[in-house]
Amino acid sequence: MLTQFNFRAFFLLLFSALMANAQTKKPNVIVIMSDDHAYQAISAYGSKLISTPNIDRIAKDGMLMKEAAVTNSVCSPSRAVLLTGKYSHMNGMKDNGTYFNGAQETLPKIYRANGYRTAIVGKWHLFSTPTGFDYWNILPDQGNYYNPKFKKDGKDTVYTGYVTDVITDMALDWIGKTKDKAPFFLMLHHKAPHRNVMPPLKYLDKFNDRQFKLPSNFYDDYAGRKALQIQQVTMKDHLDIRYDSKIPCDTCPINPINNWAPAEYQREIERLTPAERQVWDAAFLKEYELFKTLKTKDEIVRFQFQRYMEDYLRVVNSLDDNIGRVLRYLDENHLSENTIVVYMSDQGFYLGEHGLYDKRFMYTESFRTPMMIRYPEGFKGNQKTGAYVLNLDMAPTLLDLSGIAVPNDMQGQSMKTLLTTGKDESWRKEIYYHYYEKSFGLTRHYGIKTKRYKLIHFYDPVNSWELYDLKKDPKEMHNVYDEPKYASLIAELKEKLRALQIKYKDTEGLKIK
Ligand code: CA
């Protein structure tokens, strides 16, 4: 009897010790970031275009941010914001043509200093050598979709397979080697579904049975919006028939805006093995036959839209599959409860809204970004918030959830209260945005979004203001800046905008007239 009693006491003691350990154990962190993934193509956001059960699971197990936005809607700057918790004018990465200064304080460096093992796999796109990571294996620049080359410790290695699968393999391999040694912080950064969207061969027939409808404002005439009038990122005029639509048309005209595109496309498909290339050619030969029957410009535009959507969704489908692999791995290795998993894109993306296929603008589709977080041990699931959270907030949020002090100079706000209680009365009511890059005919601009209005100042090369009443005009089709009845509202919004520029120390923005 005595032996049996001791046996029970021993296990009770062991159990309570394990519980105490679980409660004090630092969470692991995985930030899954995709590139150019539109919330319009995620079923958790109500998409009818595609079902994304694995991405949706992150929201279901945690919180979905319905109104998450970025501070500067383009690839490299957004990544720098995630790493630093600071606006572009503070971290120095204003556009894709800058080198990230790796000497500054970053999220992985802070985690590392707090006993974490840190890694980044996949897309880096900050041009300088990664700092703060125990392990990194990154795509050079934009990288390739097929049999991609990676860069590790200055050495190039070509991997066999499809980029999204390869990045996930690397991530799981690293977690496997790390999980029993220390808490880990992993940035799992996908190239998908960045242009030019090249699907995995196994999905080349997927979505062929679907006919995608043009968004209602596809043929936006850009009246009253000067910056939109000069941009060069419309589906009807700027997609390349080879690069974007994958049609092997040697006689098709070369668009001066994208004159690099046919050669770039050729280089990408030449990465396929001869057997893979056969599968590819057979699939797109069918599309070429269809293309040859098209007569009018409108027919070609609709064809290119359809082709874009099919390939985009095929790439997103594979992204979702691979996110499922990560979640299953966490389940199977008993890491699910104590691991924070974030899913976000580096920004939103236009899928034909305003006739566009790109990002950059402060209009809704590229300003908003998908964002969701799960951490079963930290907060409950099935939550949704309309709070104005930003990519700027991710660094302080993760540190706070991990019990690590947030540096005072980070400009984002921790979402911990929002995640653990479902609300935060102190949350920002307005968002400040500043975009700098002039490629593809874009104009630099900054602006403010409040619950009802959006005020944007385009300043280089176009100089003009735009105001939208988002309640009356959610698609941002009518610039009402010049309507006299809005004069006092505009003055008020300009005051708020100035206050935000002062708050976030955008001294350069403050000087712009
Ligand atoms: Ca991007």
pLDDT digits (tens, 9 = 90+) for 252-273: 989 888 899 999 999 999 999 9
Predicted confidence (pLDDT) at residue 24 exceeds the cutoff of 80: no
Task: Check residues 4 and 307 and name the one with the higher pLDDT.
Answer: 307
Predicted confidence (pLDDT) at residue 2 exceeds the cutoff of 50: no
Using one digit for the tens of pLDDT, what is the confidence trace for 388-430?
999 999 999 999 999 999 999 999 999 999 999 999 999 999 9
Residue 282 CA, ligand 1 centroid: distance in Å: 30
Residue 39 CA, ligand 1 centroid: distance in Å: 13
Residue 82 CA, ligand 1 centroid: distance in Å: 13
Using one digit for the tens of pLDDT, what is the confidence trace for 470-484?
999 999 999 999 999
Residue 244 CA, ligand 1 centroid: distance in Å: 16
Residue 74 CA, ligand 1 centroid: distance in Å: 5
Residue 194 CA, ligand 1 centroid: distance in Å: 7
**What six digits make up the tokens of 333?**
């290795």
- Listed residue (470, 458, 457) closest to 497, CA to CA: 457
Residue 139 CA, ligand 1 centroid: distance in Å: 14
Residue 409 CA, ligand 1 centroid: distance in Å: 26
Q: What is the mean pLDDT of residues 289-302?
A: 97
Residue 359 CA, ligand 1 centroid: distance in Å: 8
Residue 360 CA, ligand 1 centroid: distance in Å: 9
- Whether the bond into 137 is cis, omega within 30 of 0: no
Residue 34 CA, ligand 1 centroid: distance in Å: 8
Tell me the C-alpha distance between 98 and 420, whole Å.
Answer: 37
Q: What is the mean pLDDT of residues 329-352?
A: 98
What is the number of alpha carbons within 13 Å of residue 458 lying toward its C-beta? 25
Using one digit for the tens of pLDDT, what is the confidence trace for 26-77?
999 999 999 999 999 999 999 999 999 999 999 999 999 999 999 999 999 9
Taking CA atoms, 174 is separated from 112, 177, 179, 180, in Å, by: 16, 5, 8, 11
Residue 215 CA, ligand 1 centroid: distance in Å: 21
pLDDT band at 23 (very low <50, low <70, confident <90, very high): very low
Residue 93 CA, ligand 1 centroid: distance in Å: 14
Task: Check residues 160 and 11 and name the one with the higher pLDDT.
Answer: 160
Residue 6 CA, ligand 1 centroid: distance in Å: 60
314 contacts 280 by C-beta, under 8 angstroms? no
The contacts of residue 421 (CB under 8 Å, 6+ apart) are none
Tell me the C-alpha distance between 80 and 93, whole Å.
Answer: 6
Residue 348 CA, ligand 1 centroid: distance in Å: 8
Residue 11 CA, ligand 1 centroid: distance in Å: 52
Q: What is the pLDDT of residue 15?
A: 55
Residue 190 CA, ligand 1 centroid: distance in Å: 10
**What six digits make up the tokens of 246?**
């994958």
- Listed residue (291, 313, 289, 288) closest to 302, CA to CA: 291
Residue 468 CA, ligand 1 centroid: distance in Å: 25
Predicted confidence (pLDDT) at residue 11 exceeds the cutoff of 80: no
Residue 496 CA, ligand 1 centroid: distance in Å: 29
Residue 351 CA, ligand 1 centroid: distance in Å: 14
Residue 7 CA, ligand 1 centroid: distance in Å: 58
DSSP 276-343: HHHHHHHHHHHHHHHHHT--SHHHHHHHHHHHHHHHHHHHHHHHHHHHHHHHHHHHHTT-STTEEEEE
Q: What is the pLDDT of residue 84?
A: 98
Average pLDDT, the chain: 95
What residues pack around ion ligand 1 (CB closer than 5 A)? Answer: 35-36, 75, 346
Q: What is the mean pLDDT of residues 182-196?
A: 98
Residue 116: Cβ within 10 Å count:
22
Q: What is the mean pLDDT of residues 111-128?
A: 97
CATH class of 433-511: alpha beta
Q: What is the mean pLDDT of residues 353-376?
A: 98
Domain residue extents for the chain: 25-197+314-426, 224-310, 433-511
Strands 431-435 and 117-123: unpaired
Q: What is the pLDDT of residue 255?
A: 86
Residue 9 has φ and ψ, to the nearest 5°, of: -60, -40
Predicted confidence (pLDDT) at residue 359 exceeds the cutoff of 70: yes
Q: What is the mean pLDDT of residues 229-241?
A: 96
pLDDT band at 13 (very low <50, low <70, confident <90, very high): low
**What six digits make up the tokens of 234?**
């419309």
Does domain 25-197+314-426 match CATH 3.40.50.10320? Answer: no
Instruction: Give the lowest-confidence range in 13-17, 111-115, 347-351, 378-382.
Output: 13-17
